[in-house]
Chain A
Amino acid sequence: GAVVSQHPSRVICKSGTSVKIECRSLDFQATTMFWYRQFPKQSLMLMATSNEGSKATYEQGVEKDKFLINHASLTLSTLTVTSAHPEDSSFYICSARTTGGNSPLHFGNGTRLTVT
């Protein structure tokens, strides 16, 4: 149980275009989802917290107009990288929590974004 599906796994786009990444909880309802960014051989950096039906909460230094997050249902959150540039190339990972205060986060398999 507690499977999180992230799509696409890899995407290559041209500079200036936008890319949408989907994160779905397949067998549970996720009231809260988190979006992380991971640089090579580095830890995960929390970008934003996404709550179903409300605006995402962004971490300091993360541009909300560049990284648009939508959490329209209890099983789907999307991250859109708008007007992507090569410096946005990274590994993006979503995670979701099930109900229950102490339940661990469950992670998607990540999306490798390459902006050319």
Chain B
Amino acid sequence: AQSVAQPEDQVKVAEGNPLTVKCTYSVSGNPYLFWYVQYPNRGLQFLLKYITGDNLVKGSYGFEAEFNKSQTSFHLKKPSALVSDSALYFCAVRAPRLNDYKLSFGAGTTVTVRA
């Protein structure tokens, strides 16, 4: 079965500092990996995905993530965080099976960026 772990419940950084949100995964075969962000009482917004190709993936709002197969990780990063980046972030994985589009989500990491 596929699963995702987000080891940190909370991440706090000062505005302008780098932001990293950690994610590790477990899946049979090559994973399809996603990051989503959720603001209070809202649905999830897609940030970026890794399917194949370059290990460094660039996404929306200046976010990027690095796929590391040997460490089974897909950490989300932003070089310079903004207060508006404060939100709940979810990592998700999908198995590379034909016609199986179910996502398994991590528990989420609450990011707080202080001014």
A42 touches B101 (CB 8 A): no
B102 touches A46 (CB 8 A): yes
Is B49 at the interface (CB under 8 A from chain A)?
yes
Q: Which candidate, B11-19, B20-28, B65-73, B103-111, is the interface stretch facing chain A? A: B103-111
In the complex the two chains form, what is the Cα distance from A101 to B52 in whole Å? Answer: 13
Partner of A102, one of B49, B104, B106: B49
A109 touches B42 (CB 8 A): yes
The size class of the interface chain B forms with chain A is: 20 to 34
Closest to A108 in B: B43
Given A102-B51, A112-B41, CB of A43 within 8 Å of CB of B106: yes
In the complex the two chains form, what is the Cα distance from A41 to B41 in whole Å? Answer: 11
Rounded to whole Å, the gap between the CB of A75 and the closest CB of chain B is 17
The size class of the interface chain A forms with chain B is: 20 to 34
In the complex the two chains form, what is the Cα distance from A110 to B42 in whole Å? Answer: 6
Is A93 at the interface (CB under 8 A from chain B)?
yes
A43 touches B105 (CB 8 A): yes
Main secondary structure of the interface of A (DSSP, over half): strand
B49 touches A93 (CB 8 A): no
Q: Within 8 Å CB of B105, what residues of A? A: 43-44
Contacts from B to A (Cβ < 8 Å): 32, 34, 36, 41-46, 49, 51, 90, 98, 101-108
Contacts from A to B (Cβ < 8 Å): 4, 6, 9, 32, 34, 41-44, 46, 49, 91, 93, 95, 97, 101-102, 104-110, 112
Known A34-B103, A44-B44; 8 more pairs at CB < 8 Å: A4-B43, A42-B107, A43-B105, A46-B102, A95-B43, A102-B32, A105-B34, A107-B43
